């Protein structure tokens, strides 16, 4: 059982070996999911805050920045 060493990565959080060669985050699936959920939550919270403070127009602008 050999895994190509060039694709061998370890999770930044738990040190678990990542076998998914398409992984670009440097996180194991478990922590990658957690990171995505966290980023989405922060993004949504920021967007909600922007809408309250600046109105829908600014929210649209903020959304463009996020999508970049």
Which stretches of the chain bind Zn ion, using CB under 5 A?
11, 13-14, 28, 31
Beta-carbon contacts of 16 under 8 Å, excluding residues fewer than 6 positions away, are 10, 28, 30
CB of 34 to Zn ion, least distance (A): 8
Measured from the CB atom, is 14 or 44 closer to Zn ion? 14
Measured from the CB atom, is 21 or 57 closer to Zn ion? 21
Locate the DSSP E strands across the chain.
Answer: 9-10, 17-18
Are the C-beta atoms of 26 and 11 separated by less than 8 Å? yes
CB of 12 to Zn ion, least distance (A): 7
């Amino acid at each position: 059982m050999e895994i190509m060493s060039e694709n061998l990565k370890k999770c930044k959080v738990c040190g678990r070996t990542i076998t998914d060669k398409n992984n670009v985050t440097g996180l194991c699936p478990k922590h990658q999911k957690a990171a995505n959920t966290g980023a989405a939550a922060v993004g949504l919270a920021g967007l909600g805050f922007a809408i309250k403070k600046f109105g829908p127009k600014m929210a649209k602008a903020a959304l463009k920045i996020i999508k970049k």
